[in-house]
Amino acid sequence: MKKSSKSVWSRFVMTFAAAFLLMLVTTVPVKADSSNMPLVKDIKQTDASTNSVGIIWSCPGSDIRFKIETSEQLSTGYTDYNKRPQSSASVTLTKLGAGKVYYVRITPIRYTMEGIGKYTTVTGTTSRPLRVVTAPDSTPASLTHVKSSTDTIKVKWSAVPGADVYQVVYSQSGTANEFTKETTGNSVTLKKLSKDARYTIKVRAGKKYTDGTGRAWGNYHTKYDVPVKSTKVEGIKVSGYYQNLSKISITNKAKACADGYQYQLYTAYKGQDKETKVKSITVNQNNPGSSNQVSASMKISALKNHNFYKVRVRAYSLNSKNEKIYGVWSSWKYVSPQPDVTKKQKVKKGIKIKWDKINGADRYVVYVSTKKDSGYKKFQTTGKNSTTITKYGKNKLKSGKTYYFYVVAQKKVDNKYQSGAAGNATKRWSMTY
Protein backbone atom coordinates (compact mmCIF):
# COMPACT_ATOMS: atom_id res chain seq x y z
CA MET A 1 0.00 0.00 0.00
CA LYS A 2 1.41 3.37 -0.93
CA LYS A 3 2.27 5.85 1.71
CA SER A 4 0.42 9.11 1.42
CA SER A 5 2.29 12.24 0.40
CA LYS A 6 1.22 13.79 3.69
CA SER A 7 3.01 11.18 5.76
CA VAL A 8 6.17 11.51 3.65
CA TRP A 9 6.14 15.22 4.16
CA SER A 10 5.69 14.75 7.91
CA ARG A 11 8.67 12.45 8.16
CA PHE A 12 10.81 14.95 6.14
CA VAL A 13 9.87 17.79 8.46
CA MET A 14 10.67 15.71 11.52
CA THR A 15 14.08 14.62 10.14
CA PHE A 16 14.98 18.20 9.23
CA ALA A 17 13.97 19.45 12.66
CA ALA A 18 16.09 16.80 14.37
CA ALA A 19 19.10 17.70 12.24
CA PHE A 20 18.61 21.40 12.96
CA LEU A 21 18.32 20.74 16.68
CA LEU A 22 21.54 18.68 16.61
CA MET A 23 23.31 21.53 14.79
CA LEU A 24 22.15 23.97 17.46
CA VAL A 25 23.56 21.74 20.19
CA THR A 26 27.04 21.50 18.59
CA THR A 27 27.41 25.27 18.31
CA VAL A 28 26.74 25.85 21.97
CA PRO A 29 30.12 26.18 23.79
CA VAL A 30 30.95 23.29 26.03
CA LYS A 31 31.71 24.26 29.57
CA ALA A 32 35.52 24.41 29.94
CA ASP A 33 36.93 21.92 32.39
CA SER A 34 40.51 22.86 33.36
CA SER A 35 40.86 20.24 36.10
CA ASN A 36 42.90 17.95 33.86
CA MET A 37 45.01 20.65 32.20
CA PRO A 38 48.81 20.27 32.65
CA LEU A 39 50.84 22.92 34.44
CA VAL A 40 53.67 24.96 32.99
CA LYS A 41 56.85 23.96 34.85
CA ASP A 42 60.61 24.55 34.83
CA ILE A 43 60.30 27.97 33.24
CA LYS A 44 63.69 29.64 33.04
CA GLN A 45 65.76 32.16 31.14
CA THR A 46 68.35 30.68 28.77
CA ASP A 47 70.08 33.66 27.20
CA ALA A 48 69.94 37.40 26.74
CA SER A 49 71.23 40.29 24.69
CA THR A 50 70.73 44.01 25.12
CA ASN A 51 67.27 43.79 23.55
CA SER A 52 66.16 40.16 23.76
CA VAL A 53 65.57 37.33 26.21
CA GLY A 54 65.32 33.58 25.60
CA ILE A 55 62.93 31.47 27.72
CA ILE A 56 62.09 27.76 27.82
CA TRP A 57 59.65 25.67 29.91
CA SER A 58 58.06 22.25 30.09
CA CYS A 59 54.41 21.25 29.83
CA PRO A 60 53.19 17.72 28.91
CA GLY A 61 50.78 17.17 26.05
CA SER A 62 51.21 17.60 22.31
CA ASP A 63 47.96 19.50 21.90
CA ILE A 64 48.84 22.34 24.27
CA ARG A 65 49.39 25.89 23.13
CA PHE A 66 50.75 28.74 25.18
CA LYS A 67 49.81 32.33 25.77
CA ILE A 68 52.84 34.55 26.56
CA GLU A 69 52.34 37.72 28.58
CA THR A 70 54.97 40.28 29.59
CA SER A 71 55.15 43.24 31.92
CA GLU A 72 57.71 45.54 33.54
CA GLN A 73 55.82 45.18 36.82
CA LEU A 74 55.47 42.03 38.87
CA SER A 75 51.72 42.22 39.52
CA THR A 76 50.18 44.47 36.86
CA GLY A 77 50.45 45.69 33.31
CA TYR A 78 50.67 42.33 31.50
CA THR A 79 50.12 42.32 27.75
CA ASP A 80 49.85 39.46 25.28
CA TYR A 81 53.25 39.21 23.60
CA ASN A 82 52.37 37.13 20.52
CA LYS A 83 48.69 38.19 20.18
CA ARG A 84 47.91 34.52 19.56
CA PRO A 85 48.92 31.32 21.38
CA GLN A 86 51.99 29.41 20.18
CA SER A 87 52.71 25.68 20.11
CA SER A 88 56.44 25.62 21.05
CA ALA A 89 57.63 25.55 24.68
CA SER A 90 60.17 28.29 24.13
CA VAL A 91 60.21 31.89 23.05
CA THR A 92 62.64 34.70 22.33
CA LEU A 93 61.27 38.02 23.47
CA THR A 94 62.58 40.87 21.33
CA LYS A 95 62.45 44.65 21.13
CA LEU A 96 63.20 44.96 24.83
CA GLY A 97 65.12 47.70 26.63
CA ALA A 98 68.78 47.21 27.62
CA GLY A 99 69.73 46.50 31.21
CA LYS A 100 66.13 46.12 32.31
CA VAL A 101 63.98 43.67 34.27
CA TYR A 102 60.83 42.09 32.80
CA TYR A 103 58.27 39.60 34.10
CA VAL A 104 56.87 36.81 31.97
CA ARG A 105 53.94 34.49 32.67
CA ILE A 106 52.66 31.61 30.55
CA THR A 107 49.18 30.14 30.32
CA PRO A 108 48.54 26.68 28.74
CA ILE A 109 45.54 26.41 26.38
CA ARG A 110 43.88 23.39 24.76
CA TYR A 111 41.54 23.65 21.74
CA THR A 112 39.02 20.78 21.19
CA MET A 113 37.46 20.61 17.72
CA GLU A 114 33.67 20.21 17.87
CA GLY A 115 32.93 20.65 14.20
CA ILE A 116 34.04 22.54 11.16
CA GLY A 117 35.41 25.82 12.50
CA LYS A 118 33.99 24.96 15.88
CA TYR A 119 36.08 24.23 18.97
CA THR A 120 36.08 24.39 22.71
CA THR A 121 38.78 26.41 24.49
CA VAL A 122 40.15 25.13 27.81
CA THR A 123 42.47 27.52 29.63
CA GLY A 124 44.88 26.14 32.22
CA THR A 125 46.53 27.74 35.23
CA THR A 126 48.78 30.70 34.50
CA SER A 127 52.36 30.25 35.71
CA ARG A 128 53.91 32.39 38.38
CA PRO A 129 55.75 35.34 36.80
CA LEU A 130 59.40 34.74 35.90
CA ARG A 131 61.82 37.62 36.36
CA VAL A 132 64.06 37.96 33.29
CA VAL A 133 66.78 40.46 32.47
CA THR A 134 68.45 41.99 29.45
CA ALA A 135 72.15 42.80 29.15
CA PRO A 136 73.42 46.32 29.85
CA ASP A 137 74.06 48.21 26.65
CA SER A 138 77.32 49.88 27.67
CA THR A 139 80.80 48.88 28.81
CA PRO A 140 82.35 50.41 31.94
CA ALA A 141 83.21 53.97 30.89
CA SER A 142 86.61 53.73 32.57
CA LEU A 143 88.95 50.94 33.64
CA THR A 144 91.70 52.18 35.93
CA HIS A 145 94.82 50.55 37.32
CA VAL A 146 94.96 51.70 40.95
CA LYS A 147 97.93 49.92 42.52
CA SER A 148 99.99 46.73 42.50
CA SER A 149 102.08 44.51 44.73
CA THR A 150 104.55 41.94 43.43
CA ASP A 151 101.71 39.45 42.86
CA THR A 152 98.50 41.51 42.89
CA ILE A 153 96.84 44.18 40.76
CA LYS A 154 93.91 46.35 41.83
CA VAL A 155 91.65 47.85 39.17
CA LYS A 156 88.42 49.79 39.35
CA TRP A 157 85.83 50.96 36.83
CA SER A 158 82.79 53.16 36.52
CA ALA A 159 79.44 51.62 37.43
CA VAL A 160 77.15 50.69 34.53
CA PRO A 161 73.43 51.57 34.84
CA GLY A 162 71.30 48.47 35.24
CA ALA A 163 74.22 46.17 36.11
CA ASP A 164 74.26 44.08 39.28
CA VAL A 165 77.36 41.97 38.54
CA TYR A 166 80.69 42.43 36.75
CA GLN A 167 82.98 39.89 35.15
CA VAL A 168 86.74 40.40 35.14
CA VAL A 169 88.81 38.32 32.71
CA TYR A 170 92.59 38.56 32.93
CA SER A 171 95.61 36.90 31.34
CA GLN A 172 99.34 37.40 31.44
CA SER A 173 100.46 39.41 28.43
CA GLY A 174 101.68 37.17 25.65
CA THR A 175 99.87 34.07 26.95
CA ALA A 176 96.55 32.47 26.07
CA ASN A 177 95.42 31.24 29.50
CA GLU A 178 92.57 33.37 30.86
CA PHE A 179 91.22 33.56 34.39
CA THR A 180 87.79 34.84 35.39
CA LYS A 181 86.51 36.58 38.49
CA GLU A 182 83.06 38.00 39.31
CA THR A 183 82.16 40.80 41.68
CA THR A 184 79.13 42.91 42.49
CA GLY A 185 81.27 45.98 43.18
CA ASN A 186 83.17 48.19 40.77
CA SER A 187 86.69 47.23 41.84
CA VAL A 188 88.68 44.05 42.29
CA THR A 189 92.14 42.94 43.43
CA LEU A 190 93.55 40.15 41.27
CA LYS A 191 95.75 37.84 43.34
CA LYS A 192 98.44 35.17 42.90
CA LEU A 193 99.77 36.79 39.73
CA SER A 194 103.12 36.00 38.14
CA LYS A 195 106.16 37.90 39.34
CA ASP A 196 107.40 40.83 37.22
CA ALA A 197 104.62 40.34 34.66
CA ARG A 198 102.09 42.45 32.80
CA TYR A 199 98.45 41.57 32.30
CA THR A 200 95.58 42.14 29.90
CA ILE A 201 92.43 42.87 31.91
CA LYS A 202 88.85 42.93 30.57
CA VAL A 203 85.72 43.98 32.44
CA ARG A 204 82.09 43.73 31.39
CA ALA A 205 78.82 44.50 33.13
CA GLY A 206 75.91 42.11 33.52
CA LYS A 207 72.64 41.25 35.20
CA LYS A 208 71.98 38.03 37.09
CA TYR A 209 69.26 35.61 35.98
CA THR A 210 66.61 34.77 38.57
CA ASP A 211 68.02 31.29 39.19
CA GLY A 212 71.44 32.78 39.91
CA THR A 213 73.25 30.54 37.45
CA GLY A 214 73.05 32.69 34.34
CA ARG A 215 74.22 36.17 33.44
CA ALA A 216 73.19 38.68 30.80
CA TRP A 217 76.54 40.20 29.78
CA GLY A 218 77.35 43.44 28.01
CA ASN A 219 80.55 44.20 26.10
CA TYR A 220 84.12 44.21 27.43
CA HIS A 221 86.28 47.20 28.29
CA THR A 222 89.91 46.08 27.84
CA LYS A 223 93.13 47.45 29.32
CA TYR A 224 96.47 46.12 28.11
CA ASP A 225 99.92 45.78 29.76
CA VAL A 226 98.85 46.38 33.35
CA PRO A 227 101.98 45.72 35.48
CA VAL A 228 102.57 44.17 38.86
CA LYS A 229 105.10 45.75 41.22
CA SER A 230 108.70 44.83 40.43
CA THR A 231 110.69 42.42 42.52
CA LYS A 232 114.36 43.01 43.33
CA VAL A 233 116.45 44.00 40.31
CA GLU A 234 119.26 41.56 39.59
CA GLY A 235 122.40 41.53 37.50
CA ILE A 236 123.53 45.08 38.25
CA LYS A 237 126.99 45.84 36.87
CA VAL A 238 129.11 48.95 36.50
CA SER A 239 130.07 48.60 32.88
CA GLY A 240 132.27 51.68 32.84
CA TYR A 241 134.04 54.10 35.21
CA TYR A 242 135.28 57.11 33.25
CA GLN A 243 137.15 59.27 35.70
CA ASN A 244 138.28 61.74 33.06
CA LEU A 245 134.64 62.19 31.97
CA SER A 246 133.25 62.15 35.54
CA LYS A 247 130.83 59.41 34.50
CA ILE A 248 129.91 55.84 35.33
CA SER A 249 127.83 53.49 33.20
CA ILE A 250 125.48 50.90 34.72
CA THR A 251 123.65 47.88 33.34
CA ASN A 252 121.09 45.54 34.93
CA LYS A 253 118.60 42.88 33.94
CA ALA A 254 115.32 44.24 32.64
CA LYS A 255 111.94 43.60 34.24
CA ALA A 256 108.92 42.94 32.02
CA CYS A 257 106.72 44.87 34.45
CA ALA A 258 108.99 47.93 34.61
CA ASP A 259 108.26 51.29 33.00
CA GLY A 260 111.54 52.71 34.24
CA TYR A 261 114.35 52.50 36.77
CA GLN A 262 115.78 54.68 39.49
CA TYR A 263 119.52 54.63 40.19
CA GLN A 264 121.30 56.01 43.25
CA LEU A 265 125.00 56.63 43.78
CA TYR A 266 126.36 56.82 47.35
CA THR A 267 129.80 57.41 48.81
CA ALA A 268 131.48 54.28 50.15
CA TYR A 269 134.66 55.65 51.67
CA LYS A 270 133.58 57.66 54.75
CA GLY A 271 132.48 54.83 57.01
CA GLN A 272 129.09 53.14 56.88
CA ASP A 273 127.38 55.58 59.23
CA LYS A 274 128.58 58.57 57.22
CA GLU A 275 127.86 57.39 53.68
CA THR A 276 125.81 59.92 51.73
CA LYS A 277 123.83 60.01 48.53
CA VAL A 278 125.77 61.63 45.73
CA LYS A 279 123.25 61.46 42.93
CA SER A 280 119.96 59.90 41.87
CA ILE A 281 118.68 59.55 38.32
CA THR A 282 115.55 58.10 36.74
CA VAL A 283 115.53 56.31 33.41
CA ASN A 284 112.22 55.80 31.62
CA GLN A 285 112.55 52.56 29.75
CA ASN A 286 110.16 49.65 29.33
CA ASN A 287 111.43 48.05 26.14
CA PRO A 288 114.96 46.72 26.58
CA GLY A 289 114.85 44.79 23.32
CA SER A 290 116.27 41.33 22.73
CA SER A 291 119.26 41.91 25.02
CA ASN A 292 117.01 42.01 28.10
CA GLN A 293 119.43 44.56 29.52
CA VAL A 294 118.85 48.12 30.69
CA SER A 295 121.63 50.70 30.73
CA ALA A 296 122.08 54.09 32.35
CA SER A 297 124.86 56.54 33.04
CA MET A 298 125.62 59.04 35.81
CA LYS A 299 127.75 62.10 35.31
CA ILE A 300 129.08 63.82 38.42
CA SER A 301 132.21 65.78 39.23
CA ALA A 302 132.89 63.79 42.44
CA LEU A 303 134.08 60.90 40.30
CA LYS A 304 137.29 62.82 39.59
CA ASN A 305 138.49 61.77 43.05
CA HIS A 306 140.02 58.37 43.79
CA ASN A 307 137.09 57.20 45.89
CA PHE A 308 135.02 54.06 46.43
CA TYR A 309 131.33 54.43 45.57
CA LYS A 310 128.32 52.16 45.60
CA VAL A 311 125.33 52.14 43.29
CA ARG A 312 121.90 50.51 43.47
CA VAL A 313 118.78 50.38 41.30
CA ARG A 314 115.08 49.72 41.66
CA ALA A 315 112.43 49.34 38.99
CA TYR A 316 109.10 51.12 38.95
CA SER A 317 105.78 50.55 37.22
CA LEU A 318 103.16 53.18 36.40
CA ASN A 319 99.49 53.10 37.33
CA SER A 320 96.75 54.86 35.37
CA LYS A 321 97.60 58.20 37.01
CA ASN A 322 101.26 57.81 36.00
CA GLU A 323 102.16 57.41 39.65
CA LYS A 324 105.33 55.37 40.19
CA ILE A 325 104.97 52.03 41.98
CA TYR A 326 108.52 51.33 43.14
CA GLY A 327 109.97 47.88 43.69
CA VAL A 328 112.65 47.11 46.27
CA TRP A 329 116.24 48.23 45.89
CA SER A 330 118.85 45.94 44.42
CA SER A 331 121.92 44.90 46.36
CA TRP A 332 124.71 47.45 46.36
CA LYS A 333 127.28 47.28 43.59
CA TYR A 334 130.63 48.77 44.61
CA VAL A 335 132.87 50.61 42.21
CA SER A 336 136.09 52.56 42.24
CA PRO A 337 138.44 53.88 39.58
CA GLN A 338 141.12 51.50 38.43
CA PRO A 339 144.26 52.21 40.47
CA ASP A 340 146.91 53.73 38.21
CA VAL A 341 150.38 52.27 38.50
CA THR A 342 152.39 55.43 39.16
CA LYS A 343 155.82 53.87 39.53
CA LYS A 344 157.55 50.74 38.24
CA GLN A 345 161.19 49.76 38.40
CA LYS A 346 163.31 46.67 38.10
CA VAL A 347 164.93 45.63 41.36
CA LYS A 348 167.06 42.68 42.38
CA LYS A 349 164.13 40.56 43.54
CA GLY A 350 161.74 41.50 40.73
CA ILE A 351 159.64 44.44 39.51
CA LYS A 352 158.67 47.01 42.11
CA ILE A 353 155.41 48.86 41.47
CA LYS A 354 153.42 51.54 43.25
CA TRP A 355 149.83 52.68 42.57
CA ASP A 356 147.32 55.32 43.57
CA LYS A 357 145.48 54.88 46.83
CA ILE A 358 141.73 54.50 46.57
CA ASN A 359 139.77 56.07 49.43
CA GLY A 360 137.63 53.37 51.05
CA ALA A 361 139.73 50.43 49.79
CA ASP A 362 140.68 47.85 52.41
CA ARG A 363 143.08 45.91 50.22
CA TYR A 364 144.42 45.54 46.69
CA VAL A 365 144.85 42.50 44.47
CA VAL A 366 147.78 42.42 42.02
CA TYR A 367 147.49 40.38 38.81
CA VAL A 368 150.39 39.37 36.51
CA SER A 369 150.66 37.80 33.04
CA THR A 370 153.16 37.23 30.26
CA LYS A 371 150.52 38.36 27.72
CA LYS A 372 148.79 41.71 27.55
CA ASP A 373 145.24 40.51 27.02
CA SER A 374 145.03 37.11 28.70
CA GLY A 375 146.58 34.67 31.12
CA TYR A 376 146.49 36.86 34.25
CA LYS A 377 147.09 35.19 37.60
CA LYS A 378 146.76 36.63 41.05
CA PHE A 379 150.16 37.46 42.47
CA GLN A 380 149.33 39.05 45.80
CA THR A 381 146.68 40.58 48.04
CA THR A 382 147.98 43.47 50.12
CA GLY A 383 146.76 46.33 52.26
CA LYS A 384 149.56 48.56 50.99
CA ASN A 385 149.68 50.53 47.74
CA SER A 386 153.00 49.07 46.58
CA THR A 387 154.65 45.67 46.13
CA THR A 388 157.46 43.85 44.37
CA ILE A 389 156.40 41.31 41.79
CA THR A 390 158.70 38.31 42.17
CA LYS A 391 156.97 35.55 40.23
CA TYR A 392 154.31 34.66 37.71
CA GLY A 393 152.23 31.79 38.99
CA LYS A 394 154.71 29.40 40.64
CA ASN A 395 157.62 30.51 38.49
CA LYS A 396 160.14 33.20 39.30
CA LEU A 397 160.52 36.08 36.90
CA LYS A 398 162.87 35.43 33.98
CA SER A 399 165.45 37.92 32.84
CA GLY A 400 164.70 39.57 29.52
CA LYS A 401 161.01 38.60 29.60
CA THR A 402 158.20 41.20 29.55
CA TYR A 403 155.53 41.05 32.22
CA TYR A 404 152.12 42.73 32.30
CA PHE A 405 150.31 43.73 35.48
CA TYR A 406 147.34 45.65 36.93
CA VAL A 407 145.74 46.28 40.34
CA VAL A 408 142.14 45.90 41.60
CA ALA A 409 140.89 47.73 44.70
CA GLN A 410 138.61 45.84 47.10
CA LYS A 411 136.38 46.93 49.98
CA LYS A 412 135.26 44.78 52.90
CA VAL A 413 131.48 44.74 53.32
CA ASP A 414 129.78 42.45 55.84
CA ASN A 415 132.91 40.29 56.12
CA LYS A 416 133.08 39.89 52.35
CA TYR A 417 135.39 41.71 49.97
CA GLN A 418 133.76 43.57 47.11
CA SER A 419 135.75 44.35 43.97
CA GLY A 420 135.60 47.92 42.70
CA ALA A 421 136.66 47.05 39.15
CA ALA A 422 134.33 48.44 36.49
CA GLY A 423 133.78 46.75 33.16
CA ASN A 424 136.16 49.08 31.37
CA ALA A 425 139.06 48.52 33.82
CA THR A 426 141.27 47.16 31.05
CA LYS A 427 144.35 49.37 31.37
CA ARG A 428 147.54 47.31 31.70
CA TRP A 429 151.13 48.18 32.53
CA SER A 430 154.22 46.29 31.50
CA MET A 431 157.97 46.05 32.10
CA THR A 432 160.78 43.83 30.84
CA TYR A 433 162.65 42.17 33.67
For 130-175, write each residue's pLDDT tens digit. 999 999 988 888 999 999 999 999 999 999 988 999 999 999 999 9
CA 306/CA 342 separation, integer angstroms:
14
Model's pTM, two decimal places?
0.79
Amino acid letter, 247: K
Residues 365 and 326 in one domain: no
Residue 420 lies in a domain: yes
Residue 197 lies in a domain: yes
Residue 123 lies in a domain: yes
Q: Is residue 117 classed as helix, strand or coil in its secondary structure?
A: coil
* Strands lying side by side in the sheet with 237-242: 237-242, 247-253, 293-299
Tell me the C-alpha to C-alpha distance, in Å, between residue 120 and each of 106, 108, 116, 241, 327.
20, 14, 12, 103, 80
Whether 408 and 365 have beta carbons less than 8 Å apart is answered as: yes
The predicted structure's pLDDT at residue 11:
53
CA 163/CA 139 separation, integer angstroms:
10
**CATH code at position 214:** 2.60.40.10
Residues 175 and 220 in one domain: yes
Helix (H) and strand (E) counts in the chain: 1, 33
CA 68/CA 51 separation, integer angstroms:
17
Residue 22 lies in a domain: no
The predicted structure's pLDDT at residue 356:
95
Residues 66 and 147 in one domain: no
For 282-313, write each residue's pLDDT tens digit. 998 766 666 789 999 999 887 878 999 999 99
Residues 241 and 330 in one domain: yes
**339 contacts: CB under 8 Å, gap ≥ 6:** 306, 355, 356, 357, 358, 364, 385, 407, 408, 409
* Residues in the chain with pLDDT values less than 70: 1-35, 115, 117, 273, 286-290
Among 307, 172, 151, which residue's Cα sits nearest to residue 231? 151
- Residue at which a domain ends, from 209, 227, 245: 227
- Residue at which a domain ends, from 335, 365, 399: 335
The predicted structure's pLDDT at residue 115:
66
CA 132/CA 8 separation, integer angstroms:
70
Residue 412 lies in a domain: yes
**What residues make up the domain containing 275?**
237-335
The predicted structure's pLDDT at residue 409:
97
Question: Number of structural domains, the chain?
Answer: 4
The predicted structure's pLDDT at residue 26:
39
